[in-house]
Amino acid sequence: MFTPPPNSPICDIGARSGPSRIDSLGFSQASLLLFFGLYIFFFTLNAMFPVQSDDLGAPLGNLDSMIGSYMHWNGRIGELLKVWFGSCLAHTPYFPFINALFGAAFLYLFFALIFGRFPSIVLADLATIALILFVLMAFRAFGAIFFWAAGSLNYLWAYCFILIYLIPYRIFWQNPTTQVGFSISKILGMFMLGIIAGWSSELGIVLIICQIILLGYGFWRRVSLPLWYYAGILGFVVGWLILYMSPGHKARAVGFFQKSGAYVSISDFLAMSLRDKFFRWQRVFGSISLYRIQVFTLMALWWIYVTHVYQALAVRIVIIMLGFCFIILVGSVYHKIVGFLLTPFACLFSLYFVYTLYHANKRIMARYAFVIACIFAMYFMSIAVTLQVGLPPRAMLHYGLFDSSLLIFVFRIMGEMYSHKIRVLWQKIMIVVCICFGIFVLMACADMRLKWERMLASIVTQKAMGATDIIVDKQTFVSYYKGYTDWSNPGSDPTQWPNTTYARVFGVQSFIAK
């Protein structure tokens, strides 16, 4: 296994030398200009989006409504913020300004987590931001996360809290020097931030496992860890326990998923026989249909590995094609049966590739491959600890982050193999593709806004004619952009939610979309 040299920071993977502390992440005027451009994009999306589904007609909540959600529905801190003020805020002109800020900050924070610095207006950074944004826009639940209020608070805002929490650790491991002094503010600040971050997602257990691994690495390398480091971990564990022990969290899981067999608790899973555990994991991994990027990454690594090891062209072609066939069969054709083997195999192969590159004195490529192996390991842990079948796409944002990270480091490995001109060409292509797809998303959102306005006009006309049973075109809620929706829309049954909510908000007896 690859081990960084003693004088080499474990997280030194940035495009250029990064800062060593959180207060110097490189947020320059140029970086601010890029942030403003992203902000305008997200603001336009949020401003065009009409309030609907869970957010429609939502009142301003209070402490009792938050407690009610925690006890009977959902204990996630984002959901508590939603029932307190989030859905009500969506009806005000302030929400697009606020939510767009979280959208742009999300990209910046994720970039900073990867590279230990904020992006600047250089071609490599612009291409990286474009790649991340493209993967997220191609993600099926982009709209439900970035401009639907209920989804934004539960996922976009929550993940921003988690990223803010992780960045001090990322910067520390960039240059793990001994820190002197005792700061109560840092200790309490990281403890409180850890509680909020741990409270934000059930998948915080994966980060807890990663923190334990890093603690072990720190003890092994005899790194002096500051007190805020431990305080942050303790706070995160406390926050995650607050979420996991929520009565509403359990009640919601039982009511919606456990009866169908889609959900089992950790205690139920531990009580299963070894055979039942195996089939449960097989079902969970088989239900995930997000292996395309993993398959591409593994194929790219296999191709790079074969070209490094074998010299004869004919041998290269045969071995590459055999490997491609195996990867495609496991990751695409038969993934419902043996899909659980793909990610651990990819992780082990990446580690072997690290060993090969390291001994070939290709240290930069080895470092990138090591990060890819870590991403595959986190991918595997995230699926394995879920234990739930049929997650809604908006609950899979972390997979979108894993996928974009895999692509970033695969392309960086390839960048070490080819000339500067080829790297520049790819970076320009990525930026152009992202801009074109972004225009497509904007056009789709504008189209959906026009449909919504036509629906409102139709409702006014029907009410003026004395109708109390309103019928609207179901195409009002259907977009040609697959990432637009991941929420409940009205159907043909007027007695079912959200039809009942639409009827109440528009002041009619019934509401039907057909």
- Tell me the mean pLDDT in the region 149-160: 95
Residues 236 and 267 in one domain: no
Instruction: Clarify whether residues 497 and 403 are in a common domain.
Output: no
Indicate whether this model's pTM tops 0.95: no
234, 259, 284 — which closes off a domain?
Answer: 259
Q: Which domain holds residue 499?
A: 449-513
Instruction: Please check whether residues 204 and 193 belong to one and the same domain.
Output: yes
In a domain, residue 111? The reply is no
Q: Is residue 174 part of a domain?
A: no
Is 119 part of any domain? no
Let me know whether 219 and 268 are in one domain: no
Confidence class for position 329, pLDDT limits 50, 70, 90? confident
Domain assignment present for residue 237? The answer is yes
290 and 377 fall within a common domain: yes
pLDDT at 20 over 50: no
What was the pLDDT predicted at 5? 39
Q: What is the CA 368 to chain-centroid distance, rounded?
A: 21
**70: Cβ–Cβ under 8 A, 6 or more apart, which residues?**
80, 246, 247, 248
Residues 283 and 411 occupy one common structural domain: yes
Residue 28 has pLDDT above 80, yes or no: no
For residue 290, pLDDT beyond 70: no
Asked whether residue 291 falls in the same domain as residue 339, the answer is yes
Regarding whether 411 and 276 lie in a shared domain, the answer is: yes
Q: Kindly report, residue by residue over 467-500, the tens digit of the pLDDT.
A: 999 999 999 999 999 999 888 899 999 999 999 9
Three-class DSSP category at 125: helix
- In a domain, residue 327? The reply is yes
Same domain for 413 and 481, yes or no, is no
270 and 253 share a domain?
Answer: no
Does residue 104 sit within a domain? Answer: no
Supply the pLDDT for residue 165.
Answer: 97
- Whether residue 53 has pLDDT greater than 60: yes
211 and 273 inside one domain: no
247 and 370: one domain? no
Inform me whether the pLDDT recorded for 1 exceeds 70: no
- Looking at the structure of the chain, the number of domains it has is 3
CA distance 192 to 341: 38
In this predicted structure, the answer to whether residue 72 has a pLDDT above a threshold of 90 is no
In a domain, 21, yes or no: no
Residue in this structure with the two tokens 């997000």, named with its chain if needed: 290
What is the average pLDDT value for the chain, to the nearest integer?
Answer: 87
Distance CA 68, CA 247 (A): 10
CA distance 177 to 240: 29
Q: What pLDDT score does 259 carry?
A: 59
Per-residue pLDDT band for 139 (boundaries 50, 70, 90) equals confident
Please provide the DSSP assignment of 67-115 as one string. HHHHHHT---HHHHHIIIIIHHHTTSTTHHHHHHHHHHHHHHHHHHHHH
Supply the pLDDT for residue 386: 81
Of 369, 400, 417, the last residue of a domain is 417
Q: Which of 209, 231, 259 is the last residue of a domain?
A: 259
Give a yes or no: residue 8 inside a domain: no
% the chain with pLDDT above 70 = 90
